[in-house]
Structure 1
Amino acid sequence: MNIDFKRYYFSKQRNQFTLPEDTYQGWCLLAANSGRFTFSLGGDSQEERMASFGELVFCPPGVLLKRQAVEPISFHFAEFTVNDGTSFPELIRIKDIGRLSSTLRYLQEWQEEDLDIRKNEDAAHLLEDLLFMTNREQHINPKHGAGSLDPLMNQAAANIEVQAFGDNLSLQYIADLLGISSSQLTRRFQAAYGLSPIRYATKIRLTKARSLLAETSDTLEDIAEQCGFQNAFYFSRVFSQHMQISPSAYRRTFRV
């Protein structure tokens, strides 16, 4: 895929988009970081759809994109062109939320460092990773890519993402926020993502822990704190149980 990225922008939380509609010379990618928005392509309001965290919206070049926040929203926006005729779905849901979150977070950091994404190969690779995940989702999980998962559970996943690295992760709070019971949350989340909310949070924490073990000299106590574990002992036990290797052994093996 021959891609030329034009621009990237991350918006912190706001009540509404500055422009309720617009057209772009290249492909437009829009992704909620928090909150939800409705959108339609080509000006057809009857085809209005909802998007939330975990979903990527694509608008082709020259097509009118209408969007409206239904609650306070933060979002990622990118514009790019392709030179080989590749097309993208209007809406795709990414199952690998951990990878998606990491990629979007790194892109946000590039912007905060005032780097021109068009001149930075690392940032461009991150944007390419979003397209790779889109392509992979289309081929491996086409039904989910069409938006068949539970939209409310995407909001649950977004809230877990926000709380995962703190010490106050509360499924009851998330359930109350979504207007469902904690048992409904667990059941519906399991059906949508194939794992429980707690296991999902653990997966996110361990993804960050692996990076810190391989890329930093932080102590296990520091890593435990940064990743939302109670202490180094509990972190080591959970890490060893899920990864089949101790944190120290993982660091020795994968640190370069």
Structure 2
Amino acid sequence: MSWNITLKRYYFGKEREQFSLAEDTYSGWCMLAADSGRFNFSFADDSQGEQAAEFGELVFCPPGQTFKRHALERISFHFAEFIVEGPCQLPSKVRMKDVGRLSSSFRYLQEWQDEDNSGQELADAQHLLQDLLFMVHQERVKADRKPASSLDPLMNRAAAYLESHALEHGLSLQELAVTLGIGASQLTRRFQVTFGISPVKYLTRVRLSRARLLLIETTKTLDAIAEQCGFQNAFYFSRVFSQHMQISPSAYRRTFRV
């Protein structure tokens, strides 16, 4: 996959009750992604009708299509409009598995929005968007290889819930099971079948992905990182990090920080 992309605009919408516009039509491709909350969307010429999207899912609208959307709950979101030279096919919605990489790209785009959007900074933003589209391509390739029997929409909801609440303290899998309308043991079994990993390990993976970024890119203490990544304390964080990464947080910081 190799597309020449021109970013027309990027916008991070802070938490609000509803989108400013219920619908609009754009000359370029559009991407909309929830940072928190959920929304419904549809396209005027799309036979699929209205669909829901939440954290971890990217929605793409082709040029010239009327893009309709409304928030289902309080929402913050990422929006980008871009031009692609040559033929381009993007899915209307795709779920991203690498939430750490996705969150990092969005965070850098937010920082770009707050700075001088010109020159090298614009080139950097376009590179970030190119990387997001590369991830979309990879997810489509994986989906084409995945047996249809292993797809479970309810478990996609479970994964989205874990990703959006991963950094919260006291996150309860029992409450998630109740929210989904299934038992805790069924949640664990179906999640394992769908993703090849238990919900607990999935949650830990998301938390450690965020922790690795903080270790490399900040000077925050282990106590502060543990607090921000949903761990009980620095001691427990260090133990979990060392078990999964085969290296202590402090050593990881010394090794990979540039």
TM-score (ref. length: structure 2): 0.83
The residue aligned with 1:188 is 190
The residue aligned with 2:227 is 225
The residue aligned with 1:104 is 106
The residue aligned with 2:83 is 81
| Residue 195 of structure 2 is aligned to residue 170 of structure 1 | no
Name the SS for the 1:47 alignment partner: coil
Q: Alpha carbons of 1:46 and 1:80: their partners in 2 closer, same or farther (altered >3 Å)?
A: closer
Name the SS for the 1:30 alignment partner: strand
Paired with 2:212 and 2:174, the residues of 1 have a C-alpha distance of 28
Which whole-Å deviations, capped at 9, do the CAs of 1:56-97 have from their partners, x for residues lacking one? 111111122222333443322110001132221222222222
Question: 1:10–1:77: 8 Å Cα contact kept in structure 2?
Answer: yes
Report the residue type matching 1:136 in the other structure.
Answer: Q
The residue aligned with 1:150 is 152
Deviation at 1:26, TM superposition (A): 0.3
TM-score (ref. length: structure 1): 0.84
Report the residue type matching 1:242 in the other structure.
Answer: H
Deviation at 1:219, TM superposition (A): 3.2
| Residue 122 of structure 2 is aligned to residue 120 of structure 1 | yes
Question: 1:43–1:65: 8 Å Cα contact kept in structure 2?
Answer: no
The residue aligned with 2:204 is 202
Q: What is the number of residues matched between the two proteins? A: 253
Paired with 2:55 and 2:218, the residues of 1 have a C-alpha distance of 29
Paired with 1:74 and 1:229, the residues of 2 have a C-alpha distance of 25
Q: Please list every run of 5 or more consecutive structure 2 residues that lacks an aligned counterpart in the other structure.
A: none
Question: 1:40–1:48: 8 Å Cα contact kept in structure 2?
Answer: yes
Report the residue type matching 1:137 in the other structure.
Answer: E
Question: 2:32–2:77: 8 Å Cα contact kept in structure 1?
Answer: yes
Which whole-Å deviations, capped at 9, do the CAs of 1:188-217 have from their partners, x for residues lacking one? 333333322221221122112222322333
51, 54, 57: which one aligns with 1:55: 57
Deviation at 1:131, TM superposition (A): 0.7
Report the residue type matching 2:90 in the other structure.
Answer: F
Calculate the aligned-residue CA RMSD, in Å.
2.7
Question: 2:29–2:63: 8 Å Cα contact kept in structure 1?
Answer: yes
Question: 1:117–1:124: 8 Å Cα contact kept in structure 2?
Answer: no
Deviation at 1:167, TM superposition (A): 2.3
| Residue 41 of structure 2 is aligned to residue 39 of structure 1 | yes
Q: Alpha carbons of 1:95 and 1:229: their partners in 2 closer, same or farther (altered >3 Å)?
A: same
246, 251, 254: which one aligns with 2:248: 246
Report the residue type matching 1:116 in the other structure.
Answer: N
Report the residue type matching 2:125 in the other structure.
Answer: A
The residue aligned with 1:5 is 7
Q: Please list every run of 5 or more consecutive structure 1 residues that lacks an aligned counterpart in the other structure.
A: none
Deviation at 1:114, TM superposition (A): 5.2
Paired with 2:54 and 2:166, the residues of 1 have a C-alpha distance of 18
Paired with 2:207 and 2:128, the residues of 1 have a C-alpha distance of 21
Q: Alpha carbons of 1:103 and 1:231: their partners in 2 closer, same or farther (altered >3 Å)?
A: same
Paired with 1:50 and 1:167, the residues of 2 have a C-alpha distance of 27
62, 68, 71: which one aligns with 1:69: 71
Q: Alpha carbons of 1:215 and 1:17: their partners in 2 closer, same or farther (altered >3 Å)?
A: closer
Deviation at 1:243, TM superposition (A): 0.9
Q: Alpha carbons of 1:192 and 1:154: their partners in 2 closer, same or farther (altered >3 Å)?
A: same
Percent identity over the alignment? 64
The residue aligned with 1:141 is 143
Deviation at 1:46, TM superposition (A): 5.5
Paired with 1:210 and 1:156, the residues of 2 have a C-alpha distance of 23
Deviation at 1:9, TM superposition (A): 1.6
